[in-house]
């Protein structure tokens, strides 16, 4: 009998991840603040729960992927939350991009209740979630990591144990730092190509396979050229991640000027109403692409 799975947060990423779990035959208990976002999953066999508490009472391995650290706090520490209602030997896996400090707090509180807690943020966006090819960065007890690896493999490919509690979140900050300045470079290259009278599509063919190549270049430039700014990852969530990274860097007395610039540019776009667009909408910072 497959272990029962709980999944809290069935948005852009979570929905596809639950589908993979259902396809593999796992019984999946789901909760989402907006029930309408879960209707399709229920029709495919997922079991709807009315609260995180109900998920905790039914599932042995519980995933969470919600919006912000305060959402994580509510799901884990609220009176109807996971820690108050979880069963001993349950495994909680937070895949939200949150703070390393909060990941450690959840781990310590879970340990008091004989519950295992893992921080396992992901990268790969909506495409990776749909294709089951997410990168998963794991922090927590290594023994528990090996226990849950078969489940993580349902929707991830590059799954790497990084170290003790909080290490997964620190690794995700490294990921977001690299993406932030890379997206500036991708967009500036497109703007330059257009100003120079080049065909951006043929420019992409030339530069994507060389030293300038990157996931963002290959996956987001076609969307930009098609005028597709639907979120694989929301700008508002990216701003949240950059704030976390800058706060953590400040604790280490580490200046990150490139990240600070990217955050400023994205915040300006958010003020113009682009907070719910995908991160590729950074191109709109340049009027030539409006």
Do residues 106 and 141 touch, judged by C-beta distance below 8 A? no
Query: Residue 50: exposed, middle, or buried by beta-carbon count in 10 A (0-12, 13-18, 19+)?
Result: exposed
For 289, which DSSP code? G
Q: What are phi and psi of 116, to 5 degrees?
A: -95, 135
Q: How many CA atoms within 13 Å lie on the side-chain side of 185?
A: 17
**CA 198 – CA 209 distance, rounded (Å):** 18
Q: Characterize 121-148 residue by residue with b for buried, 16 or more Cβ atoms within 10 angstroms of its Cβ, and e for exposed.
A: bbbbbbebbbebebbbbbbbbeebbeeb
**Which is the catalytic residue, given 105, 172, 263, 284?**
172
Active site residue 172: yes
What is the set of active-site residues? 172
């Amino acid at each position: 009998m497959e272990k029962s799975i709980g999944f809290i947060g069935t948005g852009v990423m979570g929905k596809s991840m639950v589908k993979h779990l259902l396809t593999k035959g796992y019984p999946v208990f789901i909760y989402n603040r907006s029930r309408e976002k879960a209707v399709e999953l229920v029709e495919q066999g997922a079991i709807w729960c009315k609260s995180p508490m109900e998920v905790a009472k039914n599932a042995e391995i519980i995933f969470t992927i919600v919006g912000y650290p305060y959402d994580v706090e509510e799901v884990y520490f609220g009176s109807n939350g996971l820690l108050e209602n979880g069963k001993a030997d349950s495994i909680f896996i937070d895949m939200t991009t949150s703070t390393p400090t909060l990941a450690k707090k959840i781990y310590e509180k879970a340990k008091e209740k004989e519950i295992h807690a893992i921080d396992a943020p992901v990268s790969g966006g909506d495409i990776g979630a749909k294709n089951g090819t997410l990168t998963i960065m794991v922090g927590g007890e290594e023994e528990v990591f090996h226990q849950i690896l078969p489940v993580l493999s349902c929707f991830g490919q590059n799954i790497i144990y990084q170290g003790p509690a909080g290490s997964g979140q620190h690794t995700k900050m490294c990921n977001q730092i690299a993406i932030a300045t890379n997206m500036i470079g991708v967009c500036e290259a497109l703007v330059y190509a257009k100003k120079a009278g080049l065909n951006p599509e043929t420019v992409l063919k030339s530069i994507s396979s060389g030293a300038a190549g990157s996931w963002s270049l290959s996956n987001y430039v076609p969307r930009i050229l098609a005028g597709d700014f639907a979120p694989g990852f929301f700008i508002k969530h990216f701003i949240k991640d950059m704030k976390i990274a800058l706060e953590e860097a400040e604790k280490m007395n580490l200046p990150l000027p490139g990240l600070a610039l990217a955050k400023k540019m994205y915040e300006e776009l958010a003020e113009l109403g682009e907070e719910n667009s995908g991160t590729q909408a950074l191109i709109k910072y340049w009027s030539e692409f409006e």
